Structure 1
Amino acid sequence: MLIFWAVLGGFLLDALFGDPAWLPHPVVLMGRCISALEKRLRTALPKTPRGELAGGAAVAAVLPLGTLAVTGLACWAAARLHPALGLALQMLWCGQALAAKGLAQESCNVYKELAKGDLPAARRAVARIVGRDTQNLTAAGVTRAAVETVAENASDGVIAPLLYMLLGGAPLALTYKAINTMDSMLGYKNEKYLYFGRCAAKLDDAANWLPSRLAALLWVAAAALTGNSARGAWRIWRRDRRRHASPNSAQTESACAGALGVQLAGPAYYFGEYYDKPTIGDPLREIEPRDILRANRMMYAESLLALVLGLAVRLMLVL
């Protein structure tokens, strides 16, 4: 029952408080470890494709395994001191592994600037949550970027960590976050990370394969619950779920595009380089700022569905 209450408590902590700036976050420490490991390994190993592959593989092994060992030991030690302390630590880390409230807050900041008609401020706001270049985006481009981010991060920021914490508590959820953080820092297909980041990217693909597909199906159900088009979400998901270089990223994006009846993705600039990405969904209407709010409602609806279903399964297994 420890994991049951830890997951429920963590979910409520994230829903109520998100990630307060004053509270140290494990992902920040993970990022520092990744940077330190990368610097040391690039210095020590040959600057060749084989050397960079070896360095990236070392990071991809050390960080997740280290995270699992350290957090597992911490939770065990806390529980040995007192069961309530062990539960409190697991609740805290489960809450920090989830990103629903933070995602909603950041995307709503984009909506507020668009609603005021302040496009430069909207570009700055969306730049906080997307990797693409934003300085030349139109209002529609800013809106599209925010909606895509909500849809994609509903999977790797909410559903995936929720699934892993249901399986193995906070240590497994934070191990997943370590994998996801590595991918966000190293998993680029540019000259610098083509070889060094390959193992991190492949590991992230594997870790997200099942959660992303569960998230897409939950998004279809969430579309029905929030007054959007479940039929459109199902149709576009089945058609467009593979229209992305990643095997996972288009899963929830396609369901979101179909639910809203808009077109997402398409060409974009990253670090000044043009990428001719395929579009996702049909432009049944023009995208509008309120679609950010609609996407957030579906994200919250699917999160609640995942929590209820996951806890129900967990309870049945315990009983």
Structure 2
Amino acid sequence: MLLFTDTALLMLLALLLDSLVGDPPWLWRHVPHPVVLFGKVIEIADQDFNTPDTSESRRKLYGAIFLIALIACALLIGALLEVIFRGLPLGEIGIIVVGAIFIAQRSLYDHVAAVRDGLSQGGLEGGRKAVAMIVGRDPEQLDEAGVARAAIESCAENHADGVVAPVFWFLLLGLPGLLAYKAVNTADSMIGHKTDRHRAFGWASARFDDLVNLPAARLSGLLLALSAPLFGKRIGESLQIMRRDAPKHRSPNAGWPEAAMAAVLGLALAGPRAYAGYRVDDPYMNTDGRRDATAGDIARSLKALVFACIVQAGVVALVAVATLFV
């Protein structure tokens, strides 16, 4: 899709639109969000094909077949939308709007900021209530430092799969790539868990999500590491910590942005965590960092997030300019 010289420009405008508007709640009260529609399809498949009386091997097979069908449908819908928009006068505006809908810069900032405000204004209970909206772990087992670390880790990880990855796949494959990525990512978030119910049926979704997020996770880590001077840290040292600690994470991707964020903020992130139904005993990212994170550290993570988003937009702008000469 980079052969279309306006693809990067359209994404740059989508990034700008998302940063200004985000996800207006009044709109989604009247029109279902596309991700919600993906979720409905995944929920139906989960109910119909992931039944307790089905063998684990068959559920694994059903999950893989469903994922292939889901990706094919998303690619087809994205291709049809792109053809329709490019055939209309000023149809590029439609591409910009769809791009903005699937990018989570503003909504990520707002949700993480809500944890900062909940913790600073409402104490532990306020922080737990806000963080429960963005993480899957059990908030009742978190103290104030745990709430802050959870919010910061979510900020880092979601920068990779909610901001960098959609931009990457749009630049590579246009709207088909963007929609297919979001379908895979939604499936992973809903059924890609290591619980008894989803270990088999969600296996393909979890593994494929790992694959499509490989480049974005590393790019996200790099962008976050570049913010190190804002916090009195060195970029080279932050990159070194990221490369050293990221492979220790249970996820092949989450460790890269989390380790980078830990390094620039001087915190120890990840580590043992309790989720709904299971517990993980991960090592810490930047193990020498502080573990007593605060609402102030959440504010600093948001500063790193904004910096990373600005740098990414700058890179997209450079690509847009460069493609004018191709």
- Alignment TM-score > 0.5, same fold: yes
Deviation at 1:227, TM superposition (A): 4.9
Structure number with greater CO (CA < 8 Å, separation at least 6) is 2
Deviates more, 1:45-54 or 1:197-206: 45-54
Could you tell me the percent identity over the aligned residues?
34
Residue type of the partner of 2:49? L
Q: Deviations over 1:41-92 (max 9, x none)?
A: 236x971122111111022111121011012102212332x231x2121111
Residue type of the partner of 1:74? L
| Whole-angstrom CA distance in 2 between matches of 1:227 and 1:114 | 25
Kindly tell me: are residues 229 and 125 of structure 1, through their superposed partners in 2, closer, same or farther at Cα, counting changes over 3 Å? farther
Normalising by the residue count of structure 1, what TM-score does the alignment of the two structures yield?
0.93
| Corresponding residue number in structure 2 for 1:240 | 245
Moved over 4 A (4+): 225-229
Deviates more, 1:301-310 or 1:246-255: 301-310
Q: Is it true that 1:317 corresponds to 2:320 in the alignment?
A: no
| Whole-angstrom CA distance in 2 between matches of 1:293 and 1:308 | 23
Deviation at 1:168, TM superposition (A): 2.4
Q: Is it true that 1:305 corresponds to 2:322 in the alignment?
A: no
Q: Is it true that 1:168 corresponds to 2:177 in the alignment?
A: no
| Corresponding residue number in structure 1 for 2:48 | 40
Normalising by the residue count of structure 2, what TM-score does the alignment of the two structures yield?
0.91
DSSP-derived class of the 2:83 partner: helix
Equivalent residue for 1:57, pick from 60, 64, 70: 64
Q: Is it true that 1:254 corresponds to 2:259 in the alignment?
A: yes
| Corresponding residue number in structure 1 for 2:222 | 217
| Corresponding residue number in structure 1 for 2:299 | 293
Q: Deviations over 1:255-277 (max 9, x none)?
A: 11011111011111111433222
Q: Deviations over 1:76-118 (max 9, x none)?
A: 12332x231x212111111011111111111111111211252
| Corresponding residue number in structure 1 for 2:23 | 19
| Corresponding residue number in structure 1 for 2:77 | 70
DSSP-derived class of the 2:140 partner: coil
Matches within 5 A, 1:147-158: 147-158=152-163
| Whole-angstrom CA distance in 2 between matches of 1:166 and 1:308 | 14
| Whole-angstrom CA distance in 2 between matches of 1:156 and 1:129 | 13
Paired residues of 1:232 and 1:261 also in contact (CA < 8 A): no
Deviation at 1:235, TM superposition (A): 2.5
Kindly tell me: are residues 238 and 116 of structure 1, through their superposed partners in 2, closer, same or farther at Cα, counting changes over 3 Å? same
Equivalent residue for 1:29, pick from 31, 37, 42: 37
Paired residues of 1:229 and 1:258 also in contact (CA < 8 A): no
Matches within 5 A, 1:181-200: 181-200=186-205
Aligned CA RMSD, in angstroms, stands at 1.8
Deviation at 1:225, TM superposition (A): 5.1
Q: Is it true that 1:8 corresponds to 2:8 in the alignment?
A: no
Paired residues of 2:138 and 2:275 also in contact (CA < 8 A): yes
| Whole-angstrom CA distance in 2 between matches of 1:222 and 1:72 | 36
Residue type of the partner of 1:41? F
| Whole-angstrom CA distance in 1 between matches of 2:184 and 2:53 | 24
Paired residues of 1:15 and 1:100 also in contact (CA < 8 A): yes
Q: Deviations over 1:2-56 (max 9, x none)?
A: 323321221011101111122332111110111112223236x971122111111
Deviates more, 1:135-144 or 1:272-281: 272-281
Unpaired segments ≥5 residues, structure 1: none
Kindly tell me: are residues 176 and 226 of structure 1, through their superposed partners in 2, closer, same or farther at Cα, counting changes over 3 Å? farther
| Whole-angstrom CA distance in 1 between matches of 2:139 and 2:234 | 29
| Whole-angstrom CA distance in 2 between matches of 1:129 and 1:266 | 18
Paired residues of 1:205 and 1:248 also in contact (CA < 8 A): yes
Residue type of the partner of 2:300? R
Equivalent residues, number = 316
| Whole-angstrom CA distance in 2 between matches of 1:229 and 1:126 | 30
Deviation at 1:317, TM superposition (A): 3.2
Residue type of the partner of 2:15? F
| Whole-angstrom CA distance in 2 between matches of 1:54 and 1:282 | 39
